[in-house]
Amino acid sequence: MSEKVEARIKELEERLANTIPNKHTMRSINFIKAQLAKLREDLIQIASSKKGGGRGFGIKKSGDAQVAFIGFPSVGKSSLLNLLTEGSTHSKVAAYDFTTITAIPGMMKIDDAKIQLIDLPGIILGAATGKGKGKEVLAAVRSAELILIIICFREDGSINFDELNKVRNELYKAGIRLNTQSAHIVIKEQSRGGIHFNYKGHQIMNRDEVKALANEFGVINAGIYFSDNDVTPEQLIDFIMGNRVYTKEFIVINKVDLMKDSFSSEKITEMIGHDHWVMISAKNQENINQLRKKIYQELNLIRVYLKPPKQQADMNEPIILHRGDTMKILCQKIHKRFVNDFRYALVWGKSARHPGQKIKKLNHIIEDGDIVSIYTKLDVNK
């Protein structure tokens, strides 16, 4: 069953690669893209229905944020986990591929935050369709908020950038979208009237193309509205298919001890496509602290100090939140009853207009370093 679907995917991928995009071929290109999206979904379904498939490794989330490691075998993922968690975790390291066969979680501590790192088995081509432990690995990756893609220097001193693109491609096929957001699209299905297409700004697809794509997915009568410029066919397909995960990647280039001629950072940034990367050597413990700091930065974490009413603030154990988090999220993190029983809070710090500002709104955005006193309905001596 899956072999047939895979063969069809291969055929369509080849057709897509061999079709030169222009006005006349646009329609058939979009048709192929729609078919591919459906077939890939079918493959994921087939793999998930097999015993043990698609369920991840059942790792319980803990800590303030979760970061998953992904990369080909033997790039040094487990060596890195052991270093970043300072010996509190031991994931087996060996010179042969597929040393790690399940997910190994570890806790990295930095600046009062506890970050759960998840070491995973190496992936191979075809992971998205269930090859190797691909389904489980990708399911574990889906639920992390930051994905560390690990590549490394080869023995000849070059960097294996091919692997980066292969990993990205597997993530893409598994419905994971990196460093991008879902397009702002609204689809209102109706009982009749065909497709009505409205949009803001400049668009690359015209009404006929939008209609043809929507029809392909069984959307026949609907108002379709794009509020972003230049929505691509892929974005429209993603929106209709749903079930996509939008997350961030950070690139680790390991084994820098094998480097022969030095690389300019501009060149590496160009090869990677952005400057969210770091070069390390797990073997020589080079740049490990810098990586730790980068992970913290990428997660956009902030520290908030609680001051129980009429007492001193606890400056030793901050609550860790994400930038942009609200008072409601802070309350939830302390205990869910704080959301229901919330009356107001007194706030000192960057988010307060003056020290000790009284905040009554749960949608107030907290800032790094704020000190917060929460008063609930149960506080009798307000």
- Residues lying near Mg ion in the complex (CB under 5 A) are found at 77-78, 99-100
Which residues on adjacent β-strands are paired with residue 224? 187, 197
Q: Based on the number of CB atoms within 10 Å of its own CB, is 221 exposed (0-12), middle (13-18) or buried (19 or more)? A: middle
Where in 223-242 is the site for ligand GTP (CB under 6 A)? none
The site map against ligand GTP for 105-144 (x = CB under 6 A) is: ----------------xx----------------------
**Interaction between residue 98 and ligand GTP (CB under 6 A):** yes
**Interaction between residue 257 and ligand GTP (CB under 6 A):** yes
**Interaction between residue 100 and ligand GTP (CB under 6 A):** yes
Task: Out of 30, 78, 247, 376, point to the residue binding ligand GTP (CB under 6 A).
Answer: 78
d(CA 119, CA 210): 41
Closest CA to 166 of 202, 131, 114, 218: 131
Partner in contact with 235, chosen from Mg ion, ligand GTP, none, beta carbon below 5 to 8 Å by kind: none
Question: What is the smallest separation between the CB atom of 5 and Mg ion, expressed in angstroms?
Answer: 30
> What is the number of the residue whose Cβ is closest to ligand GTP?
122
**Interaction between residue 154 and ligand GTP (CB under 6 A):** no
**Interaction between residue 79 and ligand GTP (CB under 6 A):** yes
Partner in contact with 74, chosen from Mg ion, ligand GTP, none, beta carbon below 5 to 8 Å by kind: ligand GTP
**Interaction between residue 95 and ligand GTP (CB under 6 A):** yes
d(CA 216, CA 30): 10
Q: Based on the number of CB atoms within 10 Å of its own CB, is 304 exposed (0-12), middle (13-18) or buried (19 or more)? A: buried
Nearer to Mg ion, 99 or 332 (CB): 99
**Interaction between residue 93 and ligand GTP (CB under 6 A):** yes
Nearer to Mg ion, 93 or 339 (CB): 93
Where in 323-342 is the site for ligand GTP (CB under 6 A)? none
What tokens does 134 get? 């691909």
Q: Where are the alpha helices (DSSP H) in 50-160?
A: 77-84, 134-142
d(CA 118, CA 106): 6
What tokens does 230 get? 């230049």
Number of residues binding to ligand GTP, judged by CB under 6 A: 24
Task: Out of 283, 303, 328, 333, point to the residue binding ligand GTP (CB under 6 A).
Answer: 283
Q: Where does residue 232 fall: left (phi above 0), alpha (psi -120 to 50 degrees), or beta otherwise?
A: beta
d(CA 303, CA 319): 6
Closest CA to 178 of 270, 128, 244: 244
Radius of gyration of the chain (CA): 24
Q: What are the residues binding ligand GTP (CB under 6 A)?
A: 71, 73-79, 93-95, 97-100, 121-122, 254-255, 257-258, 281-283
